[in-house]
Structure 1
Amino acid sequence: MKLSAVRSITTLALASLIANHAWAAPKHEIYSLMPNTALSGVIDPDMPDRTSINKALPLKKKGERLRIGWTEITLGNPWFVSMIDDAKTIAKQYNYDIELQVADSDVAKQSAQVDNFITLGVDLIVIDPTDVLGSVSDVERAVAAGIPVITVGTAPDARAPVITTSTGNPYGSGFEAGRYVAAKTDPAKVINAAMVIGVMGNSTSESRLNGMISGIVYARSEERKLGLSREDAMLKGFKLFQQVKAKGSFNWPEGGFNVLAWGRGDWTEEGGLAATEDILSSQGDKLNLVLAENDFIAIGAINALENAGKKNSVMVASGAGSFRVALDLIKQGKLLVTATNSGSETGVAAIELIHQMLDKGLNANNLPLASYFPVTLITPDNVDTYIKADSLPPSTATVPPFRSIEQIKTAMK
């Protein structure tokens, strides 16, 4: 997928996830819950400065060509393949070498790969974390050996001394997709949803689904004049999401919104199909919406609904992906919405950050733990633009600027 070449004029800045007003004490309760696996992508207005953290900067090139050790969580679906392929393409243009190893979702295997890169003496390590907590010690060992680390895909635990993480905004994309779902639903009609998540406990997974729930809550509050501010809706959605984790479901009568069940989809079509089939067996007569964490899960859910003869009675919405098959399903009216989350863009941006540090003089010592891409929805109104962009080669032209913590805070005021 090469979707980074196109950006909709409706792109939402990171700060749009937060209320657009100057911060005043006391800070809203939602921010006191951070860090939290279900709030990855929410920007804390009081995020701490990271300048004093040792990150093994500045980046130095030891030989004629920069050597990058890259440990990837998996190559199990096209999203990861496009990330690696296009990162390699851009690295070649800059005369960088990527030494790739695949961890196969094994924490111990990824840890051994990091140790191998340290022994090889690479100039920089890129980690796609198999585990947000387990990766902390891996990063610490690399930095102690004088090797800086960038993470991709999922931000590690805040203790990890990474430069930053190249990633889409999981909460933000989910939130905006949820708002869109509500806008396409009769406000008087009760939404009876099922939630199919990649893996419960993964920060990207939880944040996308929590975002989708919170976006629906915010939209329903506006439609039904319930008086919730954006931050109030974020807090309410968070609490409802926690009910799903603890009890398997929730009911919100005031908003006319229920989650009847959830299933684990493992980020794949097969997982989405199996989880949706299980949910249909118990909730099929009530269900009218499937909230799928990503495009692959959504594709599986759509297949399950078609097999059960329910494709016309149950909507499917995806929290993120922009995978080509999903774009075609939006075009056909089978998938309601997704949000940009290009594997290609994630990989290209990581290489571009390296280039800016090494060759452009970028001071990367106070970047946030995660550098999130702006959020853009893909809907029937703009899907043709993204289908056309899918055939374009990878490019750094539209990689958003890497902003320091000071710059982000200034933009939020």
Structure 2
Amino acid sequence: MKKEKVKRLLAVLVSAGMVAGMMAGCGTEATSTSGSGAAATPEASSSGASSAASSTSSSSAAAASSTDESSGSSGVHEIYTVSERNNLSGVVNPDMKSRADIDKALPEEQKGGLVIGLSMGQMGSSFFTQMHEAAKAKCEEYGYELVMFNADGNISQQSADVEAMITNGVDAIILNPMDVIAAEADVKRAVEAGIPVIGCGVDFATDVPVITSVLANNFFGGWESGVYVGDFFEGQHIKAGMILGVMGHTIDESRMTGMMAGIVYERAAQQGNAFASEEDAYMEAYNMFNELRDNGKLSSEKWDFEVVAVNGDGAWTNEGGLAATEDIIAGNPDINLIMTGSDPMGAGAIKAIKDSGLTPGKDIYVACCADGGQEMFPYLENGEMLCTGYNSPDLTATAGIDLIHMIFEEGYDASNLPAAEDLPTGVITQDNWKDYYDPDLQYCKVLDFKWETIDEIRAEAGLD
């Protein structure tokens, strides 16, 4: 994880529906639900670098100083400078600048018995339920109280919720914003009142005074699966259908671009013409996905890879994946791969393949970017699902609480954490699914996670 950490700091772009979900409760609980509005699904949350199984990627921090033909005169690769980044959520320039001078209202004295304010943009699913249970258990362990507000998709209500926490004098706030731009003012008000804030699910701009944000890397969740798919299909033509939860949503567009990047990266190496850097593969896939978005299909003789149909209405559900795959197979019965942003859609795809009289894992393979829910492990074990990506609501729920504990009770210096910290990712397959399986959890087991400061990350990258 150390080598990949530099490249895998999230830069999730602003979107009201881009909520990755966080804690729904902890310790002694006081809950307020108010407001109205559409809520994002938890399956649209996402994933960083796995320590339970070896990574399929060989990212190197040395790429930070790449000066190949795709880099500008400053040595910064073009992929870090493109202006339209909706499908690049997670691709961040590793040359991060210090945030130590930003006032984040970090506590001057250690204390326990904390009251934590939790502002959720929305709630309601098995993913969020699992986070709720994990967060409660972690807070009970520390003896903390949680005051939780659910804005139910209403941006104005979320702002009012944060104001209520400030008025009530909570010790720290975990903020899962519906709109990251609108929430900047909420963060600043809290910090001015002396209350530190940790973001969750999306990352704020680097100059916003959050301590950090806890979230998963959408692009590299897809990349992990894509490298595996590229290796699996070595020497074979790929004729794929693609399913996104919502076309235009930064999470799945980034996951799919990452998967395509992994595929072409492997293809290039197999052809004996490897990319000069992984960033070159990112750039290639970025352009390919933009073409796919514009035209609804893509054919690359160079990479022996085509996407003949794209469905952007999968809604991150079994039902959405089923309907989308039925439509794709009806028009393209000779495809050999379905690519999905989340494995609930992948499960629906498997059913559609069976219903069409074909065999998943033989006639058509199903590759997913996330989430590793308990119900997916049988599909992985029997080979009906080629791969999926690691995603843990338990880790998502507890990481921010652990950081608050470290700061308030252990004296951890959190003054120079990056704007966002990646949670682990990893590709889960028929060969390694047992490494991720925990029979007592609804999703994958909790992997090790270590907070790293900007100074530590830059040192690993050889930038200082």
The alpha-carbon distance between structure 1 residues 332 and 288, as it changes in their structure 2 partners (threshold 3 A), is same
Structure 2 residue corresponding to 1:279, chosen from 305, 308, 328: 328
Matching residue of 1:8: 52
The alpha-carbon distance between structure 1 residues 53 and 211, as it changes in their structure 2 partners (threshold 3 A), is same
1:202, distance to aligned residue in structure 2 (A): 4.0
The alpha-carbon distance between structure 1 residues 201 and 385, as it changes in their structure 2 partners (threshold 3 A), is same
1:39, distance to aligned residue in structure 2 (A): 2.4
Is the counterpart of residue 54 in structure 1 residue 103 in structure 2? Answer: yes
Structure 1 residue corresponding to 2:65, chosen from 23, 26, 39: 23
1:232, distance to aligned residue in structure 2 (A): 1.0
Quick one: distance in 2 between partners of 1:267 and 1:108? 26
Quick one: distance in 1 between partners of 2:143 and 2:398? 14
Quick one: distance in 2 between partners of 1:17 and 1:131? 32
Structure 2 residue corresponding to 1:213, chosen from 260, 265, 278: 260
Matching residue of 2:240: 193
The residue matched to 1:151 in structure 2 has which SS?
A: strand
Matching residue of 2:5: none
Matching residue of 2:408: 358
Matching residue of 1:267: 316
CA-based RMSD = 3.0
1:35, distance to aligned residue in structure 2 (A): 8.6
After TM superposition, the score normalised by the length of structure 1 is 0.87
CA contact (8 A) 2:374 2:442 kept: no
Quick one: distance in 2 between partners of 1:19 and 1:137? 34
After TM superposition, the score normalised by the length of structure 2 is 0.79
Matching residue of 2:366: 316
Matching residue of 2:200: 152
Matches within 5 A, 1:127-142: 127-142=175-190
The alpha-carbon distance between structure 1 residues 193 and 154, as it changes in their structure 2 partners (threshold 3 A), is farther
The alpha-carbon distance between structure 1 residues 49 and 344, as it changes in their structure 2 partners (threshold 3 A), is same
CA contact (8 A) 1:59 1:357 kept: no
The alpha-carbon distance between structure 1 residues 9 and 269, as it changes in their structure 2 partners (threshold 3 A), is closer
Quick one: distance in 2 between partners of 1:294 and 1:379? 14
1:201, distance to aligned residue in structure 2 (A): 4.4
Is the counterpart of residue 252 in structure 1 residue 300 in structure 2? Answer: yes
Quick one: distance in 2 between partners of 1:317 and 1:346? 23
The alpha-carbon distance between structure 1 residues 18 and 278, as it changes in their structure 2 partners (threshold 3 A), is farther
Quick one: distance in 2 between partners of 1:35 and 1:362? 37
The residue matched to 2:80 in structure 1 has which SS?
A: helix
Matches within 5 A, 1:38-49: 38-49=87-98
Matching residue of 1:91: 139
The alpha-carbon distance between structure 1 residues 202 and 136, as it changes in their structure 2 partners (threshold 3 A), is farther
Quick one: distance in 2 between partners of 1:134 and 1:390? 40
1:348, distance to aligned residue in structure 2 (A): 1.2
Gaps of 5+ in 2: 1-46, 67-73
CA contact (8 A) 1:290 1:316 kept: yes
The alpha-carbon distance between structure 1 residues 22 and 157, as it changes in their structure 2 partners (threshold 3 A), is closer
Quick one: distance in 2 between partners of 1:399 and 1:385? 13
The alpha-carbon distance between structure 1 residues 320 and 392, as it changes in their structure 2 partners (threshold 3 A), is closer
The residue matched to 1:155 in structure 2 has which SS?
A: coil
The residue matched to 1:255 in structure 2 has which SS?
A: coil
Matching residue of 1:391: 440
Equivalent AA in structure 2 for residue 38 of structure 1: N
The alpha-carbon distance between structure 1 residues 338 and 409, as it changes in their structure 2 partners (threshold 3 A), is same
Equivalent AA in structure 2 for residue 349 of structure 1: A
Deviation string 1:59-118 (CA, Å, 9 cap, x unpaired) is: 7789x7311121234433322221221012111110111222333344334333223322
Percent identity, please: 35
Deviation string 1:227-281 (CA, Å, 9 cap, x unpaired) is: 4232211110111122233332322220011222232323222332333333334
Matching residue of 1:410: 459
Gaps of 5+ in 1: none
The alpha-carbon distance between structure 1 residues 276 and 398, as it changes in their structure 2 partners (threshold 3 A), is closer
The residue matched to 1:364 in structure 2 has which SS?
A: coil
Is the counterpart of residue 235 in structure 1 residue 271 in structure 2? Answer: no
Quick one: distance in 2 between partners of 1:327 and 1:289? 19
Matching residue of 2:419: 369
Matching residue of 2:385: 335
The alpha-carbon distance between structure 1 residues 278 and 9, as it changes in their structure 2 partners (threshold 3 A), is closer
Q: Matched residue pairs, number? A: 404
